């Protein structure tokens, strides 16, 4: 009988009591967000009209490496945490690789993805401040589902703008949000000035996260006792997601190994930062040599082909200017099924870390990601979300290199969510009707040139 251990769990008392904030340990702190009108650095109070005060404080905190997790949030984490660290023996065998492959399985949360880690925290802080309504955007719907559930838990009303193409492609995610009581609107819509402006120019526009953010921010700013919450990009979101990597650290110790490579799919950065930052601190502080790889879609390659530049976080220019790797906020990504990765820019912290050489990025075509997802599903019995398939594809690439060299590297990736509500995408792949998309250098340069004029 085999004695090989497959899964590693933490006892409830060992679930981390603090989040880790990598900004405090970064040799080069990220540049500050700027007020788009004055071009001056934003102060904490400048964020109060949009965010709960504690979240505004967390966003600009560059000195505290450890932030206490509120007990009420940690108690809710216990509904599904710790999530298992899994040794992917089946995938190793299927690939014939000497690599040791592990994945952190965030698909076991109540809504099927890692997004709940930050949703519970953000809504908790809003509730503490007496807020009665929250607004947000969502791409594929994982964040919208998480926010809807968290709002229901804390008795707050939620309004979600879902990118229109995902609203149509993924009707059951919409149903999940509505089941928890959220109001869901396809974006762009005629309910906001931002949405009307987009539809006036392009009545058939299928939307983007940048557009949905504009609508959600506008609604928050024009609705009494309402705050905006978001699922990625900003610093405080990545902070909350470090519960993933902090658990994984302890679980890797249980397995008696330490990762040579850590991989996460990449849209705005919450999932990648969540798994990576706790391990990356050892590279920064202790001289570890772990590689960190962000896997983004080839149709939205901000890390691999974008420019480091101040840009808006949304299409309409309602957000502060953020220092990020970007394709330009006017960039309209192709309608790939990994809706959560269809965003023009990268998070501020990750942009600085990439700029300073602490991490790498790869872009992967849609068909390769689904091919990799099928390999993983057949080997490990879990159908991954299209977003997670990017991390799996990057992990398979690294495992194949080990097969060539004979190295027994330890590879860790984040399985950010399951794909059981994404089967229409798998249907398209299996029928041969799923396409890859190319982004021309001319399109990138055009958007970046426009951006430079706007910033000036």
Instruction: Identify the three-state secondary structure at position 349.
Output: helix
Which residue, chain included where needed, has tokens 């965003």?
343
**pLDDT, position 1:** 44
**pLDDT, position 449:** 75
The pTM for the full model equals 0.95
Contact at 8 Å (CB) between 141 and 177?
yes
Q: From CA 432, how far away is CA 419, in angstroms rounded?
A: 18
Distances from the Cα of 236 to the Cα of 230, 252, 302, angstroms? 10, 25, 21
Q: From CA 386, how far away is CA 422, in angstroms rounded?
A: 7
Distances from the Cα of 363 to the Cα of 134, 266, 304, 422, angstroms? 33, 9, 7, 21
Candidates 266, 263, 270, 211; CA nearest to 235 is 270
**pLDDT, position 2:** 56
> Could you read off the pLDDT tens digit of each residue along the chain, which spans 456 residues?
457 999 999 999 999 999 999 999 999 999 999 998 899 999 999 999 999 999 999 999 999 999 999 999 999 999 999 999 999 999 999 999 999 999 999 999 999 999 999 999 999 999 999 999 999 999 889 999 999 999 999 999 999 999 998 898 888 999 999 999 999 999 999 999 999 999 999 999 998 888 899 999 999 999 999 999 999 999 999 999 999 999 999 999 999 999 999 999 999 999 999 999 999 999 999 999 999 999 999 999 999 999 999 999 887 888 899 999 999 988 888 777 776 788 889 999 999 999 999 999 999 999 999 999 999 999 999 999 999 999 999 999 999 999 999 999 999 999 999 999 999 999 999 999 999 998 887 777 777 777 766 666
Candidates 114, 199, 181; CA nearest to 385 is 114
């Amino acid at each position: 009988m085999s004695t090989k251990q497959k899964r590693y769990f933490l006892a409830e008392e060992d679930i981390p009591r603090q989040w880790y904030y990598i900004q405090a340990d970064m040799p080069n702190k990220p540049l500050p967000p700027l007020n788009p009108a004055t071009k001056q650095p934003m102060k904490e109070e400048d964020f109060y009209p949009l965010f709960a005060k504690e979240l505004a404080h967390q966003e600009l905190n560059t000195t505290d490496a450890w932030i206490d997790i509120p007990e009420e949030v940690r108690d809710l984490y216990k509904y599904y945490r710790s999530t298992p660290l899994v040794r992917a023996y089946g995938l190793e065998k299927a690939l014939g690789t000497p690599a040791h492959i592990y994945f952190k399985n965030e698909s076991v949360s109540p809504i099927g993805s890692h997004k709940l880690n930050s949703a519970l925290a953000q809504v908790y802080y809003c509730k503490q401040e007496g807020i009665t309504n929250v607004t947000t955007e969502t791409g594929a719907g994982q964040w919208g589902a998480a926010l809807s559930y968290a709002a229901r838990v804390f008795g707050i009303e939620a309004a979600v703008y879902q990118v229109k193409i995902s609203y149509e492609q993924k009707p059951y995610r919409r149903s999940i949000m509505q089941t928890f009581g959220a109001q869901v609107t396809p974006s762009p819509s005629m309910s906001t000035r931002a949405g009307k402006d987009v539809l006036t120019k392009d009545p058939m526009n299928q939307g983007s996260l940048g557009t949905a953010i504009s609508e959600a921010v506008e609604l928050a700013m024009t609705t009494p006792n309402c705050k905006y919450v978001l699922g990625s990009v900003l610093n405080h979101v990545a902070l909350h997601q470090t519960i993933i990597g902090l658990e994984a650290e302890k679980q890797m110790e249980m397995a008696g190994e330490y990762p040579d490579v850590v991989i996460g799919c990449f849209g705005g950065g919450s999932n990648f930062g969540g798994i990576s930052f706790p391990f990356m601190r050892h590279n920064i502080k202790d001289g570890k040599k772990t590689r960190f790889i962000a896997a983004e879609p080839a149709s939205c390659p901000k890390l691999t082909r974008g420019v480091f530049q101040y840009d808006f976080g949304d299409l309409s220019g309602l957000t502060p200017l953020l220092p990020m790797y970007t394709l330009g906020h006017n960039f309209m990504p192709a309608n790939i099924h990994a809706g959560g990765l269809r965003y023009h820019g990268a998070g501020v912290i990750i942009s600085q870390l990439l700029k300073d050489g602490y991490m790498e990025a790869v872009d992967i075509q849609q068909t390769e990601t689904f091919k990799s997802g099928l390999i993983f599903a057949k080997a490990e019995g879990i159908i991954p979300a299209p977003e997670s398939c990017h991390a799996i594809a990057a992990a398979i690439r690294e495992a194949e290199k080990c097969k060539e060299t004979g190295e027994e590297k330890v590879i860790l990736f984040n399985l950010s969510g399951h794909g059981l509500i994404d089967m229409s995408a798998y249907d398209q792949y299996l029928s041969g009707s799923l396409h890859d998309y190319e982004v021309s250098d001319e399109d990138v340069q055009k958007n970046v040139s426009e951006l430079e004029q706007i910033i000036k």
